Structure 1
């Protein structure tokens, strides 16, 4: 465990920074008092630093500190955050991606970088357009610390009713003179079938101060590649009252309406992933005189993930079966249908850039000011690159009978089919024809410009009032969306050029349960080859794009005061503050007007648009006051009690605010689903109460227990209205497939008779619109213990969180309008050893089942639950010299799988298998 000494000078301003810093800090003092600091690195020091932040903070704050320069505890920030009490994560491709805090999912937590709000963009349509930050885009090596602020603060930007998560990166004035670090590792993903079995990652940081520490420059860069495979089984949606079913087994005491749910598809997926991520940060600090420090920084990330997926599936166009007591159709079957063989290409590209300027001025010994500005942008799919390209081939003539088995509430369902009427069988090349292609995706540019002028007055005399902080801030939040898409049925004739092949199922999904009931062969071909054939055949089609924009402008002002006094001889600290915010919202949608629907295919009604774009604009505004009071009392030198109250807010997802009406699903015979946004949505507000007791009984050791309760108003939920939608001429849209005219359906578009007319039946659409609906209460307990076993080198951490409330999803209620996604219990158990040159940490993280989403892939108002999940991770390193170490990291050692279901456990939505991942590398510090 290396020990380094450095000399630095101390000032009143830097003392406040030191108390919250996760790595060594250099500052300058007006009195030029010289002190000696001993900086100890490693697991123990990292945990001790985080403990000190928790103890010294006003309100409830938990933190993670880097173990050394360029050495964050985990390879992924979300994986580290899940170790904090009350924090749990959701995984994407077996990697931490989004964070839930105290039962409030990603959309309810604000993520900041060095105190600044960060933009977000996602090209995946199924996710919608949210404000939630994806931690997979940020390298952990450049991070010096992360703080999770669970109570509201007047001087912190609003946006998180669950928490504000602040990511801190290094600054050159944090270090004395020249400092550098670098690491190189090989990533070995055991799931890889296509791609490289070992992929590289490297990172480096160089920092130096010059001209008697008046100028500092820091540069960090990182590059990461990862190849992997995921295997999945599931369905696109469980549709209520779909097809026909024997409902005699339904328990009417639980399901009085006798609603039944049938699967829309049965899917088996194989996905091969290739991901590249580059991060970089350049920081220049300049202190021309003793009382002024300017910091200019530029942060960038480039994220590129390409996924090649193949899917073998059955589409239950109509189904029949028998239900269980809940209403799940457990044996859906279709007669005279076909197998479908899909190819999917995903390409997700996101560019993030942030430029910031901060100037701190110590005007007097007691008064200081700070100006902070940043301009940050997240841009997905630059140039309108499609995020998803989809191709489908199938058996001709509807000559296959299919039966599925969804009776099991665990493991995998089964599928069986009779293809005896197809000479050669369903997999024979001569029995496969082209079906359709589809392209879709968002190009999103989310920009945030924030300006804040703040000040702080420090009382240098006696008195309970110690500090007053004040400031004004503006936030200009803009989202521009270009939505593209295309969908067409095609007939390509001979498909030999596509090279459609089939792989034996083999050990596919063997960790998810018995795979004996799955398809014996799985399709393998490229969607790009299919699109090339479509273009060569002259069948390529592009739908009319739409443009959406949301603009939010917020003016804020705040004042906060710190007090220190005594009560009956016990030291008391008090922080109180008030934040005022005024927000104006404008939403605009530009799209071509709807002429009507064309009966295009037996499975498709296609929207027909004119060539005249028109704009719809809706506005909204609101004003909020956000107070906070934090109090702590030292009952003795080891025991601290806290009480906090705060009001916080979270704003609506962007995709909920587009004013246009979108025809989402229109199929012959239904369903007919549409949606419309609402820029007038009010923010969700929460009154938060916290009580906790913390016992700091030894160096690096503590125990804490806390209770929290949140009273939440204006929960945003889906309201559904059954209504008529009108075309550009003011006429109701009708259904041309109800009484088809001769020559219809027609997929050429040449037959004008297939367009709907006034004489066709008027369609009643189910139009989903978000609205502020209900109030709710959420409460829970957080318990944590961190213990160092003396000088033995051993230590342990155990924590758990229990969360409950009155916003749980009622699986038997077909009209659920409000539910809290992400609410679940969680726990961590971590053991570590650090002695001399050796460090090792073994961690187990567990999260109970939770509501992931209230919308399944193909249908709204149907839930997706993620089942309970636990994962073991290992990290070990050995210091070859004082400055060089080798390390081994293992993630998901026991190869756990993820299973998600609908209303009931046997309504499988997706079961996914990934595998373990190992990193081996070397790290150097200079």
Structure 2
């Protein structure tokens, strides 16, 4: 279906903040460029109108026309030619548009977009005017995602003819895009004036592969191939278009991060109160809040993406007034990864100086953060060496039928129906994500330093000793995300006269979403077999710092020198044998049968025992709109409309209930006795959404606009779930976690006001400035509440635990406390030793049935509609062509502010809006009959990426990031073009932090990427 905001011919005669360096450069380029050519404009314009414009210039001219001729604020990108979109990735193309910024996936590739500070979940993505399904699973951890965001990495850019970004709300626009409605347009044969046939090939070289251990590396050079054929027959009454593309990419992703976030507490509470003596802590916080991290991890990942796209279009126009279009779009995107992670656990350990280990040292408040955090271990602590495999496949299929009938000169009708399905599922016998933890039990005192961009882990004296290793945990996760959209839309346009037009439409949408997971998790913290039983498993050793050579701190002499990579297949094979010979610590060390051991280290056969979330949305919509053109001295246009939207939500959720707990390792507590239950909830909401757009031509080349509209953005799927989902993994002396949702949540409601002025001072050249204001209400906030669950007690509490403390032990000495309880209370209710061969590290279980055990406290994440706030900002755009020289420059800068901020000094529930950031672009190019050269720099300021970090109500901020890309094309004859695309030339890295800069959450390094290829047009 055509996007409802089709251009309307105008009745005009003719068509105090500090700026960052990119924005400043853009302004200077505009001012100097415009002044230098002002005297030549009349002659240049007359000359240009006689030239057949192609390539980059054609693309930019089409984008200017899209912006200038539409009602409301519309920006876009138009392909230079069919099969030649400006960027290799649709998301990376859209970041060139003012107000649009992107989120990058683990391989550094653009995947989701944020528009004017509104995050990816609240932008409506259409394919040829149709709502597309999305099936999101978190890359590299396999967890089902509640996101509504469309992943543009699933679509190749080869068959895309245009991207249209509609920034203002209109009655005829589908709801859901309070940031923007983004319409992806593909080639239509009857819209083309000639036969199109071309084929392209590329070789993709990704330098990030060279920053991986040999065991994780994929191919440095991978292929891409694409082709399109479009033609018309029978006197242009029949049109056929077929396009397809195949690409394979190997890449590397190196991440230094904390998995469990930064625990935040008020001064005078939490684990600091248990440190003895208190003088062990330097600069200990006495007011405000403080935070500490549980872990420090270094993760290296070799990724392989394989993508197949195809589209077939059949059009039939029996007359000039009637046209039928049948099309099918398919996309298959496979992602595989090999991951190796080395990690050190700190927990709530704040130890003082001992030997060569420095004391834990905090920064000054009001948010005290350890820049040095030391844990004192006795030389038998476990250092994690996780090895994982990730594999998933996403399949998108969309079939649609469109009929467009011009009944008379006054009346036109359009009907459109489509059924589209997106499904992401495991693509490996081991499920979506499989991991084995090989622990090295000779870690001594360990210090984490947070005074560099890279977190620095120091563990003097620790070396790899195969006789001190055993597998201490495993998980084989299978995750399914499945979404179907069935949609019918009809619209009518009636021309009342030359200056008046009425539009009306009706739509029905049924969206079914399912997210299921099956987690075969075993916390064998006591080991699978004795230490040394995995000594024959190959484990390579390499330099840790070398994998992060773009991040300051990689050459710090304090950094632990080694990185260890076990072989996954050999590790699993030995774990299966050990389970048959020794049993496992979580099953009482009773030997398993061969079949049981295989199943123990395999994915579960179905989703009957895990979480299964099923939600159905049924929406009915109707709209009416009046368009009027004023034939006055100052030509003006106005559009006034009203949209009705009614949605019913049914949510059924299968969750796991537990009956017990067991403290089965130093820091880990597991929930036991899981059984599946099912429940359902419903919700409904109805909205009337008005809109008005006005524009005026103050002169032939000056246009002003004003728009007001109301739109809604629907809650995420995970926010609408019934039932309480508990994590099976809890923590000693901390507690458990879980989540719940509510299908009766209201959508976010946004009242939007836009003002803009545009000056088209020469052909293909313009400058524009705009201001926008969004007042958002019913914002969905995240709440973490502490609660207890009947029957689930904290094993690290009660009479025996208190006796251990009374003996002089402190709560941060978990292993010593376990040894005390085993030595003094073995055989009592809830206490059982399974292995006492090492008196300093007794293995066994302590359950929640111990005497005096207190109820376990669970931090349950839930969602509620809260008070709203506003988003406001300014957009600045320019584009300038330097006469007939072939040179041009364009740029934009967007500044965004919002009251929906995360308050770093508050420990309570937060409603910060994810994605708010300034952004800027600067593009320069040159083009003649032979060469086509483009350079682009994109910059995005710091933004809130998440409101939770794994440890509660704690923010995650992504720090400013800039990327330089370039492309070079060389045309040989009329049909052959050689092309080179050079991405991330500045070799940037992405860093995230918590409440302070020192609270590192993630430092991600990828690498440069080069694509060399050719396209031949027949």
TM-score, shorter chain, exceeding 0.5: yes
Query: Do the aligned partners of residues 815 and 305 (structure 1) sit closer, same or farther apart at CA in structure 2, a change above 3 Å counting?
Result: same
Identify the residue that residue 263 of structure 2 maps to in structure 1: 239
Identify the residue that residue 554 of structure 1 maps to in structure 2: 619
Is the aligned partner of 1:881 residue 2:966?
Answer: no
Q: Does the 8 A contact of 2:248 with 2:307 survive in 1?
A: yes
Report deviation, 1:272. 0.9
Q: Which has the higher helix share?
A: 2
Report deviation, 1:733. 2.6
Identify the residue that residue 583 of structure 2 maps to in structure 1: none
Identify the residue that residue 589 of structure 2 maps to in structure 1: none
Distance 2:181 2:771 in 1: 18
Report deviation, 1:816. 4.0
SS at match of 2:854: coil
From 375, 396, 406, the counterpart of 1:334 = 375
Q: Does the 8 A contact of 1:86 with 1:101 survive in 2?
A: yes
Q: Which segment is superposed worse, 533-542 or 210-219?
A: 533-542
SS at match of 1:45: helix
Distance 1:243 1:347 in 2: 39
Identify the residue that residue 735 of structure 1 maps to in structure 2: 794
The alignment's C-alpha RMSD in Å is 2.6
From 301, 323, 333, the counterpart of 2:362 = 323
Q: Does the 8 A contact of 2:406 with 2:413 survive in 1?
A: yes
Query: Pairwise mapping of residues 120-519 of structure 1 onto structure 2 (< 5 A)?
Result: 120-124=134-138, 125=142, 128-176=145-193, 178-193=195-210, 194-236=217-259, 237-241=261-265, 243-244=271-272, 249=283, 256=287, 258-320=288-350, 321-325=360-364, 326-336=367-377, 337-381=381-425, 386-396=431-441, 399-408=443-452, 411-419=453-461, 425-459=462-496, 461-462=497-498, 464-465=499-500, 467-488=501-522, 489=524, 490-493=527-530, 494-505=533-544, 507-515=546-554, 516=556, 517-519=558-560
Is the aligned partner of 1:676 residue 2:706?
Answer: no
**Structure 1, gaps ≥5 residues long:** 1-11, 21-35, 420-424, 727-731
Identify the residue that residue 709 of structure 2 maps to in structure 1: 646
Instruction: Compute the TM-score of the two structures, normalised by the length of structure 1.
Output: 0.91
Identify the residue that residue 717 of structure 1 maps to in structure 2: 781
Identify the residue that residue 67 of structure 2 maps to in structure 1: 54
Query: Pairwise mapping of residues 905-924 of structure 1 onto structure 2 (< 5 A)?
Result: 905-924=997-1016
Report deviation, 1:301. 0.6
Report deviation, 1:382. 5.4
Q: Does the 8 A contact of 2:489 with 2:507 survive in 1?
A: yes
Report deviation, 1:672. 2.3
Query: Do the aligned partners of residues 77 and 70 (structure 1) sit closer, same or farther apart at CA in structure 2, a change above 3 Å counting?
Result: same
Report deviation, 1:84. 0.4
Q: Does the 8 A contact of 1:618 with 1:679 survive in 2?
A: yes
Q: Deviations over 1:431-453 (max 9, x none)?
A: 22221111224201111111112
From 81, 85, 89, the counterpart of 2:102 = 89
Identify the residue that residue 684 of structure 2 maps to in structure 1: 621
Q: Deviations over 1:438-473 (max 9, x none)?
A: 1224201111111112111123x44x42x1111110
Query: Do the aligned partners of residues 752 and 415 (structure 1) sit closer, same or farther apart at CA in structure 2, a change above 3 Å counting?
Result: closer
Q: Does the 8 A contact of 1:389 with 1:528 survive in 2?
A: no
Distance 1:890 1:199 in 2: 15
Report deviation, 1:17. 7.0
Identify the residue that residue 356 of structure 2 maps to in structure 1: none
Identify the residue that residue 989 of structure 2 maps to in structure 1: 897
Q: Which segment is superposed worse, 715-724 or 912-921?
A: 715-724
Q: Does the 8 A contact of 1:592 with 1:609 survive in 2?
A: no
Is the aligned partner of 1:780 residue 2:864?
Answer: no
Q: Does the 8 A contact of 1:19 with 1:53 survive in 2?
A: no
Distance 1:638 1:828 in 2: 24
Report deviation, 1:492. 4.1
Identify the residue that residue 119 of structure 2 maps to in structure 1: 105
Q: Does the 8 A contact of 1:619 with 1:680 survive in 2?
A: yes
Q: Does the 8 A contact of 1:338 with 1:400 survive in 2?
A: no
Report deviation, 1:738. 2.3
Q: Does the 8 A contact of 1:714 with 1:775 survive in 2?
A: yes
SS at match of 1:855: coil
Identify the residue that residue 213 of structure 2 maps to in structure 1: none
Is the aligned partner of 1:819 residue 2:912?
Answer: yes
Q: Deviations over 1:82-104 (max 9, x none)?
A: 01011111112111111111011
Instruction: Compute the TM-score of the two structures, normalised by the length of structure 2.
Output: 0.83
Q: Which segment is superposed worse, 876-885 or 381-390?
A: 381-390
Distance 2:929 2:79 in 1: 19
From 693, 697, 704, the counterpart of 1:634 = 697
Report deviation, 1:176. 3.6
Query: Do the aligned partners of residues 837 and 429 (structure 1) sit closer, same or farther apart at CA in structure 2, a change above 3 Å counting?
Result: same
Q: Does the 8 A contact of 1:899 with 1:910 survive in 2?
A: yes
Q: Deviations over 1:703-742 (max 9, x none)?
A: 000000000001111122222223xxxxx43223424773
From 885, 898, 901, the counterpart of 1:808 = 901
Identify the residue that residue 31 of structure 1 maps to in structure 2: none
Distance 1:118 1:724 in 2: 40
Query: Do the aligned partners of residues 457 and 609 (structure 1) sit closer, same or farther apart at CA in structure 2, a change above 3 Å counting?
Result: farther
SS at match of 2:868: strand
**Structure 2, gaps ≥5 residues long:** 11-48, 211-216, 351-359, 580-591, 801-824, 836-842
Report deviation, 1:40. 3.5
Query: Do the aligned partners of residues 591 and 769 (structure 1) sit closer, same or farther apart at CA in structure 2, a change above 3 Å counting?
Result: closer
Q: Does the 8 A contact of 2:831 with 2:845 survive in 1?
A: no
Is the aligned partner of 1:839 residue 2:932?
Answer: yes
Query: Do the aligned partners of residues 532 and 381 (structure 1) sit closer, same or farther apart at CA in structure 2, a change above 3 Å counting?
Result: farther
SS at match of 1:601: coil
Distance 2:184 2:831 in 1: 56
Distance 1:747 1:666 in 2: 21
Is the aligned partner of 1:598 residue 2:662?
Answer: yes
Q: Does the 8 A contact of 2:655 with 2:724 survive in 1?
A: no
Distance 1:323 1:47 in 2: 53
Identify the residue that residue 9 of structure 1 maps to in structure 2: none
Q: Which segment is superposed worse, 284-293 or 183-192?
A: 284-293
Report deviation, 1:755. 5.6
Q: State how many pairs are aligned.
A: 877
Distance 1:16 1:413 in 2: 52
Distance 1:860 1:294 in 2: 54
Q: Deviations over 1:304-345 (max 9, x none)?
A: 111111111101133112211131012111122332111121
Q: Does the 8 A contact of 1:294 with 1:360 survive in 2?
A: yes
SS at match of 1:635: strand
Distance 1:282 1:265 in 2: 50
Query: Do the aligned partners of residues 757 and 458 (structure 1) sit closer, same or farther apart at CA in structure 2, a change above 3 Å counting?
Result: farther
Q: Deviations over 1:793-825 (max 9, x none)?
A: 100002100000111211111114200111011
SS at match of 2:952: strand
Q: Which segment is superposed worse, 483-492 or 91-100?
A: 483-492
Identify the residue that residue 69 of structure 1 maps to in structure 2: 82
Report deviation, 1:881. 1.2
Q: Which segment is superposed worse, 706-715 or 429-438?
A: 429-438
Distance 2:412 2:966 in 1: 45
Q: Does the 8 A contact of 2:778 with 2:865 survive in 1?
A: yes
Report deviation, 1:764. 3.0
Q: Does the 8 A contact of 1:104 with 1:822 survive in 2?
A: yes
Report deviation, 1:534. 3.4
Q: Deviations over 1:153-198 (max 9, x none)?
A: 2112111111011110001112245321211111111121322221
Distance 1:505 1:402 in 2: 16
